[in-house]
Structure 1
Amino acid sequence: MKNTSPLCLLLCFLLACTPQEQPLTIDNIAESYVKLMLEIGQYDSDFIDAYYGPEEWKPTAKKDTFPSGDFIERANNLISQIQSVEGDKDRKFVLVKQLIAARTKVEIINGKVYPFDEEAKLLYDAKPPSYPESYFDSLLLDLENALPGEGSLADRYNEFVDQFIIPKENLDTVFQTAIAEARKRTMARYDLPENENFVLEYVTDKSWSGYNYYQGNSQSLIQINTDLPIKISRAIDLACHEGYPGHHVFNALLEQNLVNNKGWKEYSVYPLFSPQSLIAEGSANYGIDVAFPGEERVQYEKEVLFPLAGLDASQADKYYEIQGLIGKLSYAGNEAARMYLNGEISREEAARWMEKYQLNEPERALQRTRFFDQYRSYVINYNLGKDLVANYIEAQGGTADQPEKRWEVFKELLSNPNTASTIK
């Protein structure tokens, strides 16, 4: 046996004791991504919508000034790293889109102002459509015909729909019943974790009408804003959108299928201003039609929710005819946001636009401008998101006359990484 010199032995010992650099993988890039998102979230309370990953990944210190340059450099480095490693193609694609959005939001927090359409594309991976004022004028004519009478169209509309306000003393009963029914319909088709649940709260002084704060481990906190009167149609809307098969189910399925089953830790954090939100909001709105298709909804509301609310159901069909026409005007809100955020009109002008083209009462229109201030181009995720999701589901065979197929394709969409680009 050959003698080994003391120097060689020392070198071998030092090499053995020196920590070896980990090979770069998509999984450790995902960990770096999560930590970056959590650090950015320290400087903007709206940035992180949910986190249910390892406690030790949370940042323990915050700099006195916003380190935008460091955040942007780290995002760019992660994008380059993702493109250099092996891994699931869709997983890598979505992660890059999420990082582009995070980088953009850092720039916005730091004072950069993007035009509305460019901001929406960078944050949500979608180009919002634009409609001329004449388009909305033509839609108002349909409402004029549906609501004949004296006075302005807005006055006639609000006088009609005020008959369908849920009395405050009946609000909780109506909402709990609507959520229970939405849950029953969803659970009949999806196997969610046995422990899944939610807590329902009523809040005030918010810019939104409802919100789901996903807590992890298949638990949600659902909040309903009671600042303004709530119409009967909002019970099913919010039950499905915030709960079943909307946000609560979406987050539970992502956690179950991607985080727990596949170990994709990037889905343990949900940055709100990201492409994930277009899928989240679009699917939550489309989920209303999945759970309560067509006449089924109206029939259920007439038989169950109207009596619980103490409302006369004799005009329910007319009410939903009008609501259908109002729904066609949803993109008018996007136009108001675009003009307002681009500095083309004032807050008051934006509110008046929505009073005219969405028939909002003045107080509700002003509440909407608060939403524009807080969430900016996020507004596209509700209507454009729903349209993109609907087109995708129907292209996969999930049409209204194939309800079981629709539930199946919808679940597949909710359970996998997607952005607007991947569902076109």
Structure 2
Amino acid sequence: MKTKIFAAAAMLVAGTAFGATVQDVADRYMKSVLAVGVHDASYVDAYYGPKEIQDQVQKEKKGLAAIRADVTDALKDLEGQRAANEDEALRIEFLRKQLGSMLTRIDMLGGQKFAFDDETARLYDAVSPHYDRAHYMKLVGQIDKLLPGKGSVPERLKDFRAKFVIPKDKLKAVFDASIAACRERSAKYIDLPANENFVLEFVSDKPWSGYNWYKGNAQSLIQINTEFPIYIDRAVDLGCHEGYPGHHAYNALLEKALVKGKGWTEFSVYPLYSPMSLIAEGSANYGIEMAFTEDERLAFEQKVLYPMAGIDPSLAKKYAEVLKLTAQLSYADNDAAKNYLEGKWTKAQTIEWLVNVQLAPPEKAEQRIKFYDGLRGYVINYNLGKDLVKAYVLRHVTSKDPEVARQQKWDAFRKLLSSPRLASSIR
């Protein structure tokens, strides 16, 4: 009898409950993600687990009701699980949040609709703040003063931006240089896998500006959309966001630390519409600031990228000032998506807001509507995600010495990129 009691206690410490282990749940989670992907082509953003499992799931082609039942059972098996350390506790919470999010996505595929904030809370574990037009117009007023002249602020901004378009025949050279700089700066603080690499492609007719398709084994395909003009600042933005220390580095570190290091199979699959995306997009956007301080970025762009693109370097400082202000309008994107998706604004009203309030380039407003139609509340992951990641990182900075503080920031950032933390665990 004592032997049985001790064995049962040992099972609890190891993280088992009612016969199912956390690893059992992780394996079922991975299969469920793939099963949802059979019904939703955009759901599985990356998978690099065993091909036979993917083939089996595609052959089975479970219905949504059956998948939902599997996910519900997996959630029940997580109840009562005991974690021996912080990492295991984070793992259990990660699975719980991801599985819960999957239930919402399944319900949406079945036709259920949710209010914008309810949807993002369920899918991404976060809710964006919202502001009225007056809030943003105060910022637009500052840009008005920075760009005096005739015409509306959007018109003047459009004319000013036109000076910073990268010629198409120079795109590859500019992006190659930018990504190389992003990697060099990130590699000083992040121990990337020795074999990591990526392929860069230029594409068109996409609802996004750039995309990282992670292939596993520290390999990525990075695509840049050239359908619309690409401004010089996007080289660093996308180089860091899609590459280093953004999506490519994030996925490579998760694979290295959790899949290969711990055998946590759930991280060999990445469901796009899930809490993972808030951390992925947030860390990719904040990664730009991690790689470059404002002064470092200005110097790099002015001395390297501007001449390479044939753009006047003397304009770089003013352009940086304008971009700093327009970046503060980012939450207007969330408000546009919310009102449009909830049917409060027409397409025309939404485009008017994007152009006149968020000051988006007119030619990209239509593209943004396509993004809302396809990815819905995903928009919050970029700005809210960045703000949550930034706050998490800065909480770990205790030194006033700039170099020590920078090291502390990178230590916290690297820890985040190698862990199962989601929005709830970094607030």
Q: Residue 415 of structure 2 is aligned with which of 398, 412, 417?
A: 412
Query: Which residue of structure 2 aligns with residue 35 of structure 1?
Result: 31
Query: Which residue of structure 1 aligns with residue 20 of structure 2?
Result: 24
Q: Alignment partner of 1:277: what SS? A: helix
Query: Which residue of structure 1 aligns with residue 168 of structure 2?
Result: 168
Kindly report structure 1 stretches of 4+ aligned residues shifted beyond 4 Å: 61-66
Query: Which residue of structure 2 aligns with residue 15 of structure 1?
Result: none
Of stretches 294-303 and 87-96 in structure 1, the one that deviates more from structure 2 is: 87-96
Query: Which residue of structure 1 aligns with residue 336 of structure 2?
Result: 336
Equivalent-residue separation in structure 2 for 1:75 and 1:421 (angstroms): 21
Equivalent-residue separation in structure 2 for 1:292 and 1:65 (angstroms): 46
| Amino acid paired to 1:224 | I
Verify the 8 A CA contact 2:201 2:222 in the aligned structure 1.
Answer: yes
Of stretches 69-78 and 407-416 in structure 1, the one that deviates more from structure 2 is: 69-78
Verify the 8 A CA contact 1:174 1:308 in the aligned structure 2.
Answer: yes
Query: Which residue of structure 2 aligns with residue 130 of structure 1?
Result: 130
Equivalent-residue separation in structure 2 for 1:302 and 1:98 (angstroms): 43
Q: Which runs of 5+ in 2 are unaligned?
A: 1-17
Verify the 8 A CA contact 1:277 1:381 in the aligned structure 2.
Answer: yes
| Amino acid paired to 2:346 | S
Q: Is 1:180 aligned with 2:180?
A: yes
Query: Which residue of structure 2 aligns with residue 287 of structure 1?
Result: 287
Superposition deviation, residue 60 in structure 1: 3.3
Equivalent-residue separation in structure 1 for 2:57 and 2:421 (angstroms): 33
Query: Which residue of structure 2 aligns with residue 16 of structure 1?
Result: none
Equivalent-residue separation in structure 2 for 1:399 and 1:127 (angstroms): 32
- Deviation string, structure 1 residues 148-207 (Cα, Å, up to 9, x no partner): 111111110010111000001100000000001111111122211111000000000000
TM-score (norm. length: structure 2): 0.92
Verify the 8 A CA contact 1:398 1:407 in the aligned structure 2.
Answer: no
Query: Which residue of structure 1 aligns with residue 67 of structure 2?
Result: 71
Equivalent-residue separation in structure 2 for 1:369 and 1:81 (angstroms): 40
Q: Is 1:311 aligned with 2:306?
A: no
Query: Which residue of structure 2 aligns with residue 85 of structure 1?
Result: 81
Superposition deviation, residue 111 in structure 1: 1.0
Q: How does 1:19-418 map to 2 (within 5 A)?
A: 23-60=19-56, 67-87=63-83, 88-397=88-397, 401=402, 402-418=405-421
| Amino acid paired to 1:403 | R
Q: Which runs of 5+ in 1 are unaligned?
A: 1-21
Verify the 8 A CA contact 2:38 2:61 in the aligned structure 1.
Answer: no
Distance 1:62 1:197, change over 3 A: closer
Equivalent-residue separation in structure 1 for 2:317 and 2:255 (angstroms): 39
| Amino acid paired to 2:80 | S
Superposition deviation, residue 374 in structure 1: 0.6
Q: Percent identity?
A: 46
Q: Alignment partner of 1:237: what SS? A: helix
- Deviation string, structure 1 residues 95-149 (Cα, Å, up to 9, x no partner): 1100111110111111111000000000000111111111011111111111111
Q: What value does the CA root-mean-square deviation take over the aligned residues?
A: 1.6
Of stretches 73-82 and 202-211 in structure 1, the one that deviates more from structure 2 is: 73-82
| Amino acid paired to 1:69 | A
Verify the 8 A CA contact 2:282 2:385 in the aligned structure 1.
Answer: yes
- Deviation string, structure 1 residues 301-322 (Cα, Å, up to 9, x no partner): 1000001101101010000100
Equivalent-residue separation in structure 1 for 2:58 and 2:167 (angstroms): 46
TM-score (norm. length: structure 1): 0.93
Q: Alignment partner of 1:155: what SS? A: helix
Verify the 8 A CA contact 1:254 1:414 in the aligned structure 2.
Answer: yes
Q: Alignment partner of 1:42: what SS? A: helix
Superposition deviation, residue 85 in structure 1: 2.9
| Amino acid paired to 1:212 | N
Verify the 8 A CA contact 2:332 2:354 in the aligned structure 1.
Answer: yes
- Deviation string, structure 1 residues 347-393 (Cα, Å, up to 9, x no partner): 12111110011222332101000000110000000000000000110
Equivalent-residue separation in structure 2 for 1:396 and 1:336 (angstroms): 34
Equivalent-residue separation in structure 2 for 1:306 and 1:96 (angstroms): 47
Query: Which residue of structure 2 aligns with residue 5 of structure 1?
Result: none
| Amino acid paired to 2:390 | A
| Amino acid paired to 2:292 | F
Q: Alignment partner of 2:131: what SS? A: coil
Verify the 8 A CA contact 2:64 2:110 in the aligned structure 1.
Answer: yes
| Amino acid paired to 1:284 | A
Verify the 8 A CA contact 1:396 1:409 in the aligned structure 2.
Answer: yes
Q: Alignment partner of 1:418: what SS? A: coil
Give the count of matched residue pairs: 403
Superposition deviation, residue 91 in structure 1: 0.5
| Amino acid paired to 2:414 | K
Equivalent-residue separation in structure 2 for 1:404 and 1:357 (angstroms): 38
Superposition deviation, residue 61 in structure 1: 6.0
Verify the 8 A CA contact 2:36 2:106 in the aligned structure 1.
Answer: yes
Verify the 8 A CA contact 2:31 2:57 in the aligned structure 1.
Answer: no
